[in-house]
Amino acid sequence: MNHIKMKELPAEQRPYEKCISVGASALTDNELLAIILRSGTKDFNSLHLADSVLSATGKTAFPGLQGLYHMSVKQLMELPGIGKVKAIQLLCIGELSRRIAASAAKKNGLCMSDAATIAEYFMERLRHEEQEHLYSLMLDSRMHYLGEQLITRGTADFTPVSPREIFIEAMRKQARGVVLIHNHPSGDPSPSDCDIEVTERVSISGEMLGIPLEDHIIIGDQDFFSFREQGLLGTDDF
């Protein structure tokens, strides 16, 4: 089967023909990947290459298609028949699917009323970053998503931040509240002294401007810390 050329397979077994006849939703995960890969090698057809990719993701913490988020170009290129072009195609299709999901969530007015929802939204984007990234999430009066802004991209130890940068964009969006989100490359979401200091400064500034800081969420590796849930958000709590 692996050495059979795609054109030698019955039409109902070829991903392209199957997609045309019954629709993309009827395709299996490896058939979808085979179409993305487009071609195989002299030894293996694209279906076999797709099987190899899914087998490789099965060795990650997230088996299946979701595992593509957690593989690098180098790791993919270690698979037989996967060169740089195919590896980049696979990573880009994973990123594209993530952005489509995020775009749909924004369009549908994703409610960010609790820390778990916000942490889940940012988790896959931030949990593997080697530097700290600080985002400001802007919300309307019903805690619905208005927009987000990357405030800083710092070192692994410190993310410098100015409340001015956060609230200028929040006022432009006519936000009724903001949430800070940043990651800890160590994987441990416990707040540092700097995190506490930044939260205090931003919270005080927000109260003065009438745009309260609703929460500050730190993303770790499959874990998060919420200042609000821990009772550390009000200015009297610092």
Which residue's entry shows tokens 């990573």? Answer: 91
* Reported confidence tier of residue 238, pLDDT bands at 50, 70, 90: very low
pLDDT at 32 over 70: yes
Which tokens sit at 27? 């395709």
In 10 A of CB 202, how many CB atoms?
Answer: 21
* pLDDT at position 105: 57
- Cβ burial of 201 (10 Å; 0-12, 13-18, 19+) is middle
* Reported confidence tier of residue 29, pLDDT bands at 50, 70, 90: confident
CA-CA distance, 181 to 120, in Å (whole number)? 11
Which tokens sit at 164? 């001015």
Give the pLDDT confidence of 189-204 residue by residue, as tens digits: 999 999 999 999 999 9
* pLDDT at position 189: 94
Q: 18 and 26 in contact (C-beta within 8 Å)?
A: yes
- In the chain, domain spans: 6-104, 109-237
CA-CA distance, 213 to 123, in Å (whole number)? 20
Q: 136 and 109 in contact (C-beta within 8 Å)?
A: no
* pLDDT at position 65: 75
Tell me the pLDDT of the chain averaged across its residues.
Answer: 83
Which tokens sit at 148? 């987000």
Give the pLDDT confidence of 2-24 residue by residue, as tens digits: 456 666 676 677 888 888 888 88
Average pLDDT over residues 102-116: 69
* pLDDT at position 5: 65
Question: Could you give the C-alpha distances from 124 to 55, 59, 86, 215, 235, in angstroms and in order?
Answer: 21, 18, 22, 19, 31
Q: Which of 98, 4, 96 is nearest to 47 (CA)?
A: 4
Which one of 3.40.630.10, 3.40.140.10, 3.40.640.10, 3.30.1370.100 gives the CATH number of domain 109-237? Answer: 3.40.140.10
pTM of the entire structure? 0.62
* Reported confidence tier of residue 160, pLDDT bands at 50, 70, 90: low
Q: Of the ranges 11-15, 29-33, 52-56, 115-119, which one carries the lowest mean pLDDT score?
A: 11-15
